[in-house]
C-alpha cells in the first residue's frame, strides 16, 4: 500500500513540476573588440548591428581612463559628432562599466566610444550582447489550463518509462526472493 501511494505521489509531483516550470531562454549575438586606441578629439564607432524590438542590448567595457560609451540608433548616428557623442538611447561614463538598453523598436544600432577631448584612451575590451528573454510563467488558477499536446505526450512517455523501471525493479526483487 505504501509503495502505491509513493508511486502516485511521484507521478503527481512530476506532473505538477512540469506544468509550473519557469523557463528563460537567451538568444545571444556577441560582438567583442579588444585592445585598440581612440585618439583625442575623436570618437570610435562600431559597424551597425540590427536588433529587433523586445530584445535587450547589454554593453560592458574597460579602458585605461574614463570614456563615454553609448548606444546610438540610426538617427543618432547621423547627428554631428564633431565635439561629443550625441545620443538619445542609452550610455555610460567611466573607466569600466556595464549598462543594458531594452529595445522598444527594431532598428540599426551602433556602439560609440569617446575619450576626454584632451587625451586619447586605450580600450582594453568592449562587448555587446543582444538577448531575448522568454519566460513561461505558472498558470493562473482562475484561468483554464490548456496543455500543449507535445508536452502532454512527453509527460505520458516519462510516466511510462518510470512505470517500466518500477515494474522491472519489482520483478527483480520478487525473482530474488524465490
pLDDT in tens, 118-146: 888 999 999 888 877 665 555 555 555 55
pLDDT band at 174 (very low <50, low <70, confident <90, very high): confident
pLDDT exceeds cutoff 60 at 152: no
Question: 3-state DSSP helix/strand/coil percent for the chain, to nearest 5?
Answer: 30, 40, 30
* pLDDT: which is higher, 23 or 72: 72
By mean pLDDT, which of 55-59, 63-67, 159-163 is the weakest?
159-163
pLDDT band at 94 (very low <50, low <70, confident <90, very high): very high
d(CA 60, CA 68): 12
Which of 94, 106, 30 is CA-nearest to residue 62?
Answer: 94
Tally the C-alpha atoms within 13 A of residue 151's C-alpha that lie toward its C-beta. Answer: 12
- CA dist 71 and 92 (Å) reads 9
The helices-and-strands tally (H runs, E runs) of the chain is 3, 9
CATH class of 25-134: mainly beta
* The three grid cell numbers given for residue 90, joined into one nine-digit string: 542609452
Amino acid at each position: 500500500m505504501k509503495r502505491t501511494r509513493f508511486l502516485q505521489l511521484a507521478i503527481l509531483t512530476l506532473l505538477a513540476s512540469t506544468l509550473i516550470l519557469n523557463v528563460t531562454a537567451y538568444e545571444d549575438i556577441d560582438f567583442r573588440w579588444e585592445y585598440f586606441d581612440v585618439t583625442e578629439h575623436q570618437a570610435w564607432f562600431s559597424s551597425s548591428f540590427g536588433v529587433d524590438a523586445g530584445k535587450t542590448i547589454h554593453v560592458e567595457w574597460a579602458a585605461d581612463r574614463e570614456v563615454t560609451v553609448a548606444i546610438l540608433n540610426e538617427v543618432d548616428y547621423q547627428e554631428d559628432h564633431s565635439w561629443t557623442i550625441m545620443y538619445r538611447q542609452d550610455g555610460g561614463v567611466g573607466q569600466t562599466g556595464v549598462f543594458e538598453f531594452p529595445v522598444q523598436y527594431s532598428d540599426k544600432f551602433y556602439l560609440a566610444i569617446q575619450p576626454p577631448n584632451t587625451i586619447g584612451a586605450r580600450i582594453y575590451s568592449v562587448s555587446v550582447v543582444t538577448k531575448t528573454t522568454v519566460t513561461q510563467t505558472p498558470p493562473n488558477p482562475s484561468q483554464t489550463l490548456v496543455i500543449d499536446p507535445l508536452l502532454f505526450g512527453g509527460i505520458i512517455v516519462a510516466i511510462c518509462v518510470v512505470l517500466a523501471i518500477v515494474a522491472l525493479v519489482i520483478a527483480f526483487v520478487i525473482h530474488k526472493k524465490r
